[in-house]
């Protein structure tokens, strides 16, 4: 391997752990990692420190660093999500985070309908309309559609007024972006999905909490059906 930087060591080592190539229980030594990546001990330590903070590695004195069980990993870390989406467990990761969306987003939409400010309601409606326009134009796989989609979901979570719900924004955005990067977002989105985005926004705009939750559940369940069917 050509000489690596801290970032490339982190990405490669993290991806190898996330993919299962380096299974839980595997013991690594700093010296071996130096040789593998042809970098200094300082660079290796920096990468290991980040992976320790993510729960993926744990240092053991006079032993080295041990790959931790998956249950110890920081599951919502966007770097980990990216590594998992790039690996052989991609489909499972799409399912897992979409299940999280199904559990959280309908509740967030209900709360948004109750708590969002006037400017937030107007912006949610504008973004939903933009998504519909881009989708009808066959641009559902465009960067512009992706940006509007992430902004739409972020704003609903923010306007829920619940900081715990809003805390999952990066993870949800990472998977929405990951689906797009993997070519899984169609150029012409399903009409029903676009319709339910607009209906969700309309319900939030007029303060109809029940309708907001209902239409959000419809589009998230549709996405969940898609990823489970892959």
Mean residue pLDDT of the chain comes to 94
| pLDDT (0 to 100) of residue 230 | 63
With a cut of 80, say whether residue 2 has pLDDT above it: no
Give alpha helix (H) positions in 62-190.
Answer: 78-85, 90-115, 118-136, 143-159, 163-166, 169-181
Pick the residue with more confidence: 185 or 1?
Answer: 185
Distances (CA, A) of 89 to 18, 74, 85, 97: 9, 16, 7, 13
| Model pLDDT for residues 98-130, shown as the tens digit of each residue | 999 999 999 999 999 999 999 999 999 999 999
Q: What is the pLDDT of residues 139-177, one digit of tens each?
A: 999 999 999 999 999 999 999 999 999 999 999 999 999
pLDDT confidence of residue 226: 85
- Helix (H) / strand (E) element for 197: namely helix 191-206
Contact 168, 100 (CB under 8 A): yes
Question: Are the C-beta atoms of residues 181 and 189 closer than 8 Å to each other?
Answer: no
What values do phi and psi take at 73, rounded to 5? -75, 150
Token pair for 158:
């923010």
């Amino acid at each position: 391997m050509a000489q690596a930087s801290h970032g490339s060591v982190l990405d490669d080592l993290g991806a190898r752990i996330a993919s299962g190539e380096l299974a839980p229980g595997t013991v690594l030594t700093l010296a071996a990692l130096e040789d593998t990546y042809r970098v200094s001990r300082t660079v290796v330590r920096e990468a290991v420190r980040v992976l320790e903070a993510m729960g993926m590695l744990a240092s053991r004195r006079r032993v080295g660093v041990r790959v931790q069980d998956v249950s110890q990993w920081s599951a919502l870390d966007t770097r980990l999500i990216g590594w998992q989406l790039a690996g052989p467990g991609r489909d499972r990761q799409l399912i897992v985070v979409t299940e999280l969306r199904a559990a959280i987003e309908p509740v967030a939409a209900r709360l948004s309908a109750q708590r969002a400010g006037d400017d937030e309601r107007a912006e949610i409606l504008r973004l939903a309309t933009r998504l519909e326009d881009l989708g009808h134009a066959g641009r559902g796989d465009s960067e512009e559609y992706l940006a509007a989609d992430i902004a739409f979901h972020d704003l609903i979570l923010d306007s829920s007024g619940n900081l715990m719900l809003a805390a999952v924004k990066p993870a949800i955005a990472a998977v929405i972006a990951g689906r797009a990067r993997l070519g899984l977002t169609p150029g012409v989105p399903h009409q029903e999905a676009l319709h339910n985005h607009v209906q969700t926004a309309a319900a939030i705009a007029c303060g109809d909490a029940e309708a907001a939750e209902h239409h959000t559940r419809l589009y998230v369940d549709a996405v969940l059906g898609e990823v489970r069917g892959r």
